[in-house]
Amino acid sequence: MKVVAMVGSLRRDSFNRRLAETVRDRYRDRLQMEFADLSVLPPFNQDEELNPPPVVQAFKAQVAAADAVFIFTPEYNWSVPGVLKNAIDWLSRGERVMVGKPVFIAGASTGMLGTIRAHLHLREILASPGVSARVMPPGGNEVLVNFAADKFAPSGPLVDPATLSFLDDVMERFIQFAASAQDARHTP
């Protein structure tokens, strides 16, 4: 499965980036993951939505060509980081490349609640008419890595055994979900 990863943190030593890299490496036999660079995207401007700048066109083409989108995001001030929302806004206008796209969500935070508020907002955003992504149902599939500082190797991957085992289960379900979603793609 060809996957594009979006990481909501631009921080060099980001836990969410390292979570994405963990997923890329752990499931490399089943996923071909490439990263979208959200740092190069300009702020969304509706004047440009039908003829966006080349970096945005490239980003939209990258997403359009993927079988699934994986989002790894921290929670900023109880919501989704601006860079991630900005990226989704670009994807939602002109050619609506997220419509029907299978989406996997995961998040890591240093606090106790593991990005749950950001996830809930993100699910609403992904359900909006311009986005209409096909997000895996939440029950039992919410990858919320709390107390991240205790669960990653220093500047390295996720190493917490219980979290990795849960991730394995969710990934198995996502791969099946994405395969069935491909058969049932809806149009805007």
Ligand X SMILES: Cc1cc2nc3c(=O)[nH]c(=O)nc-3n(C[C@H](O)[C@H](O)[C@H](O)COP(=O)(O)O)c2cc1C
Work out whether the CA dihedral 39, 115, 150, 160 comes out positive or negative: negative
> From the CB of 109, what's the least distance to ligand X, in Å?
3
Cβ proximity to ligand X: between 77 and 187 the closer is 77
153 binds ligand X (CB under 6 A): no
The dihedral formed by the CA atoms of 177, 180, 181 and 183, expressed in degrees to the nearest 10: 170
Closer residue to ligand X, CB minimum distance, 118 or 178: 118
Candidate list 1, 64, 113, 164; residue touching ligand X; CB under 6 A = 113
Core vs surface per residue 140-176: b (16+ CB within 10 A) or e: ebbbbbbebeebbeeeebbebeebeebbeebbeebbe
Under the binding rule (CB under 6 A), the answer on residue 141 touching ligand X is: no
Q: Does 77 bind ligand X (CB under 6 A)?
A: yes
Q: Which positions lie near ligand X, rule CB under 6 A?
A: 9, 11, 14-16, 74-78, 108-111, 113
